[in-house]
Amino acid sequence: MKTRTKLAVTGTLLLLPAVAAELYSEINYIFSLVMGRGDKLGLSGCIDLSREEKAIEKEDKREGKNIRYWKKYARHTQCYVKGYNGTAIYCKVYIQKEYTNKWVLVVHGYGGNGDIMDYASKKYYDKGYNVVIPDLRGHGRSHGGYIGMGSLDRLDIAEITALIVKGDKNAEIILHGVSMGAAAVIMAAAENKCGKIKAVIADCSFDSANNIIAYQISHTFHIMPYPIVGLLDIICRRKAGFSLKKSAPINEVSKIHMPILFIHGDKDSLVPTKMTYRLYKKAKCRKDILICKNAGHGVSALVDGRGYWSKVFEFLDKAA
């Protein structure tokens, strides 16, 4: 090897540890930004959510007063449930005045909290369900330093449903999740540890955490997702105690035996609609799918409330 070539190779090898250290530092920052608890407004500013914001604003004008009245005067309580690994999970519970064994767990998505699911919670309550609305770990009033991406949340959901069954041996439980919450309920239903889950409503779920992170890195930030995704998984396992690779509803949905309704908006710029088609195709249970026209991410029920809830309750009536 010529002297000049030797020097070039040697110089490159000497630089590698510094480059690797800088890359790891950058990935660690991204992990803390994406997976750490706290305000996600900075992230939301990277994505055009104007369609979603308009739908939420219209819904608040249309139903906001009724929902606020319901939250104030409906029979309810608040509690903390000991979730996976002892993490305290905050739940609000709305109980019907007369006994019913119909229960629904309404699960929010990434960066939100249980309050953003009020529109769905009231719909179920008005239909005679007892309603449990958790703040997922790393969100709202729940504890946990990191977001669970559905993987840890499915274990928290198992603890919540176990408590429901402990208090009501005849409980029949519906799981309704949106976005990351939908991924969580799919994975929780696949295990069905309490044995009382009767049906699942999965609204705009991603098919795997790795895929949605890679998609956003590529489409939002316009950079190659690899090796970033792999490095994020390494950091996630070390810091948060779970693997992003295993947070994959696509690998669990075929294990579900109860009916499942898949929902997605056809204008979703955050989670591609094709991910729900993949999940639907992989499911082997009794299933149905609703694609809402002109709906962005997580707002199908706000864009077409009549069609959405008609489909949901028709589906649940058949599942009973």
4 in any annotated domain: no
Q: Which residues pair with 262 in a beta bridge?
A: 202, 289
Which residues in the chain show pLDDT less than 70? Answer: 1-20, 41-47
Write the Ramachandran bin of 86: left for phi over 0, alpha for psi from -120 to 50, otherwise beta.
left
168 in any annotated domain: yes
d(CA 192, CA 318): 20
Domain of residue 67: give its range. 19-33+40-319
Q: How far is CA 247 from CA 237, 251, 262, in A?
A: 12, 9, 18
Contact 175, 185 (CB under 8 A): yes
Residue 46 confidence (pLDDT)? 64
Torsion from C-alpha of 140, 177, 72, 61, nearest 10 degrees: 100
12 in any annotated domain: no
Residue 7 is inside which H or E element, if any?
Answer: helix 3-35
Residue 11 confidence (pLDDT)? 44
How many independent structural domains does the chain possess?
Answer: 1
244 in any annotated domain: yes
d(CA 46, CA 168): 45
Question: What is the CATH number for 293?
Answer: 3.40.50.1820
Residue 10 confidence (pLDDT)? 46
11 in any annotated domain: no
8 in any annotated domain: no
Residue 1 confidence (pLDDT)? 52
Q: What's the predicted TM-score (pTM) here?
A: 0.91
Q: Among residues 231, 289, 199, 253, which one has the least CA distance to residue 31?
A: 231
d(CA 246, CA 150): 10
110 in any annotated domain: yes
157 in any annotated domain: yes
∠ CA 67-154-106 to the nearest 5 degrees? 15
